Structure 1
Amino acid sequence: MMLSDMELSGKESTIFIEPLAQEWAKKYLQNLVVNTETQENDHGLALSEILSVPGRKKTADQVLTSLRSISVKAWNKTEDLLAIPIVQHHIDFNLINPWEISHDCFNIYKKALYFYTQSGHNRPLSFVTKFTKPNYHLSEEDLQLETELIAPHELVRVISADIGAVRKKYTEIDPRAIGFVSMQFHYTGQMLLEPLNIVERSLVGSYFKVIDDHLYMPLQRAYLAAAQYDYDSPIISVLQNLLPASTNIANNIAKKIIELFPNHETMSGKLTDQVVRISSIRDVEMFQVYLWVCVLEGNVNIIKEELFPLCVMLYPTLKVKWDMIRQMLYLLRFEIQDRLVYEHFQMLMPYFQILSSMFSADILD
């Protein structure tokens, strides 16, 4: 697989892409089954029809038709939200080119939608149709087959280098620019999904999540840094343990944050609202990936230059309390500790302690 200008070996790409992709695929399929039952009961839509090649093309064409106009609306929303922070943080307006960002956004989503339509070619009809049988329960074999055939993790192979190039372009001069880019992509994806029925939204949304994750998180940078290590390196062993568990860790922490701050409302709503909960889980995953990059690169540059400035710029605007971030980091430490042997845990601690200290109450109140 080609990542930027570097080709990773099969072993390395398997370590760093497959586990995370399989986690996405499992969630994708589980959500698909639940949503399908609701949709068929309400509207009589057959999952086999939606999953078919013509069905996928119909959905993709519907989304693609509105992509240009929605990209403009998404930029307006991003600009309204960040107009004040861009002045407060002395960000050069010339670095934020809405037309260039919208162009990049259009190309990435267009490629993802094309891949979504092509995925249907790889699925046996017998596999598709059995989802629609009464009282059908998904087996482990089906889950594995779905993961191998058409799950969105295949999109990672196709599009991660493209998104990585976009991310690199906007972070090279001022890393804070990625805040505007990622929010533009995020709002575009949200608006594109709104008109779809619940099954299509679950299907297409899982592909769009690949885009979201690779923009919000420095995954491409982690892939490239990991490629510099031997397969049996202790650092690789650490990430082999943590990467597949990252979403589970994020879910656990998001639940506890809701319990600790039951009455808090962000700009998007209560912590229990689905859209906020999804964002919360993604943010916990994001902090984990930044930590991995620190360990892989042997320094905390990416936290100092990118993560911390972005959080300071965005979280107050989004009404995310610093106490919530501190609690999240506190919980993250124990989630990681529970999954690693002592020696491996100690490898992360210097970087984790610096990360925690930067978000301490002494600095951010």
Structure 2
Amino acid sequence: MTPEYQGLPVHDWTQGAPETLAFLTQTSTSGSIIPGEPQDENLSPSSHSSQMMALMAVEWAKQYYSMIWATNQANPSLGLESLNKIDITEFDEQRSRIVSQLLQMLNVAGEIAWNKIEAVLGDHIQSHQILLKLIEKTEIIQDTCQLYRKTIEAYAQYEYPSRLSVLVGRDIISVRRKYSSINALFLAVLAMEFHYVGRILLDWIPLKSRSIFILYFKAVEDYLHAPLGEVYALAGTHQVDSEALIAVQQLLSQTTTIAHTVYKRVCHLHPGYRSMSGHLVHSMVYYSSIRDVELFQIYLCLSALEGNLRPIQDELFPICAILYPRLNVSWKLVQDMLKYLLWELYHVLLPENFRVFLPYVHALTEMFSDQVVY
């Protein structure tokens, strides 16, 4: 489990990927995607695939959002308000002033964030100077600040955090597509830049307004990190009776629940563990840890849908290898997380669905074993 800014982001969008997120702004014109509503029996296979893809996305989003933002009762120390109590107009008298200040300071925050990245990655960045010349640091900063600018503007316009995937989603797709086509290092740098800018901006926001902005910033950061768009695109290429598709559908509906269980067990096993960003029970480390366990599951979904280890070998493992040692994340912690993840998958998934993921879980376990990482 990583410090809060490490989200292991990867996205290799296919040509029609933006269209696969059409469910975010409109429902299917060929039939309903809502469970229990009538469906057109004459739908083509491609329409069925699109509906399945949309249904998976909607169900996962509902479960994820309710779990993430309604945690106060079970975790009162986190300091985030329950979703039911969130009022985005609560600090209305300060809204215009805060928005104006944040927009003015965005570029400064981007520069400060880059300096933090250089301090953490240091020699690793220097050893990749040839790669880094492909994209200037100013470009990474500008892309990050642009995503935050749109997020802040959404707050200014009284949009709810749940709408950010619609308002900023296509911009995130564009940014991730650009960096994922180069090298895993760029994905790591992008994630860190995005996280650091968010933390810097939060520090500049009055304390009583901060809880609202956390919802906005975290929603976009999670969307940037999670390669769900690729999962949906791949799901659309499968037949509706595909074993991999059915297994992925069940796992995506349970990822956050599984992540919470795994996180609690790892915390119990490592009660005093501390990474560069703080103790595991620290609020932001808590959320990033949940996200990372979810991400490992999403990469399992990618591998299952592709039928190979490419997403794990090309994307997940390289970024872990780059960042974990520099962030004081122990491999033992990761190994224990994978052990508990395996058991949770076994207990939660149907036997036939568990068998779909088992080869990839075993591969992950071996890749992060003492024989490889140390």
For the aligned pair, the TM-score class normalised by the smaller chain equals: 0.7 to 0.9
Instruction: Say if 1:118 and 1:179 are closer, same or farther in 2 by CA, change over 3 A.
Output: same
> C-alpha distance in 2, partners of 1:245/1:158?
26
Give the superposition deviation at 1:91.
Answer: 6.4
Instruction: Say if 1:317 and 1:178 are closer, same or farther in 2 by CA, change over 3 A.
Output: same
Instruction: Say if 1:256 and 1:31 are closer, same or farther in 2 by CA, change over 3 A.
Output: closer
Query: What residue number does 1:326 align with?
Result: 335
Determine which structure has greater relative contact order: mean sequence separation of CA pairs < 8 Å that are 6+ residues apart, divided by chain length. Answer: 2
CA contact (8 A) 1:295 1:348 kept: yes
> C-alpha distance in 1, partners of 2:249/2:202?
33
Higher helix share: 1
Query: Which of 15, 23, 26 does residue 63 from structure 2 map onto?
Result: 23
AA partner of residue 25 (structure 1): Y
> C-alpha distance in 2, partners of 1:307/1:29?
26
CA contact (8 A) 1:290 1:302 kept: yes
Identity over aligned pairs, percent: 33
> C-alpha distance in 2, partners of 1:217/1:7?
14
What whole-Å deviation, never above 9, does each CA across 1:53-79 have from its counterpart, x for those lacking one? x76555433432321211111111112
Give the superposition deviation at 1:281.
Answer: 1.6
Query: What residue number does 2:40 align with?
Result: none
Query: What residue number does 1:350 align with?
Result: 359
CA contact (8 A) 2:222 2:291 kept: yes
Query: What residue number does 1:4 align with?
Result: 18
1:221-232 correspondence runs (5 A) = 221-232=230-241
What whole-Å deviation, never above 9, does each CA across 1:242-297 have from its counterpart, x for those lacking one? 22321222122122212212232211122222232222222111111111111112
> C-alpha distance in 2, partners of 1:361/1:92?
29
Give the superposition deviation at 1:171.
Answer: 1.8
> C-alpha distance in 1, partners of 2:129/2:372?
20
1:1-365 correspondence runs (5 A) = 3-4=17-18, 6=20, 10=28, 11-12=51-52, 14-27=54-67, 30=70, 47=87, 49-50=89-90, 56-87=95-126, 92-120=131-159, 150=160, 152-198=161-207, 200-365=209-374
Which secondary structure state, in structure 2, belongs to the residue aligned with residue 4 of structure 1? Answer: helix
Instruction: Say if 1:331 and 1:111 are closer, same or farther in 2 by CA, change over 3 A.
Output: same
> C-alpha distance in 2, partners of 1:48/1:100?
32
- Unpaired runs of 5+ in structure 1? 41-45, 121-149
AA partner of residue 186 (structure 1): H
AA partner of residue 299 (structure 1): N
| RMSD of equivalent CA atoms | 2.9
> C-alpha distance in 2, partners of 1:229/1:153?
28
CA contact (8 A) 2:299 2:316 kept: yes
Give the superposition deviation at 1:302.
Answer: 1.3
Instruction: Say if 1:51 and 1:18 are closer, same or farther in 2 by CA, change over 3 A.
Output: farther
Moved more, 20-29 or 176-185: 20-29
AA partner of residue 182 (structure 1): A
> C-alpha distance in 2, partners of 1:289/1:302?
10
Query: What residue number does 1:143 align with?
Result: none
TM-score normalised by the chain length of structure 1: 0.79
CA contact (8 A) 1:241 1:340 kept: yes
CA contact (8 A) 2:331 2:368 kept: yes
Query: What residue number does 1:145 align with?
Result: none
- Unpaired runs of 5+ in structure 2? 1-15, 29-50
AA partner of residue 4 (structure 1): P
Query: Number of paired residues?
Result: 326
> C-alpha distance in 2, partners of 1:217/1:317?
22
AA partner of residue 325 (structure 2): P
Query: What residue number does 1:43 align with?
Result: none
Which secondary structure state, in structure 2, belongs to the residue aligned with residue 263 of structure 1? Answer: coil
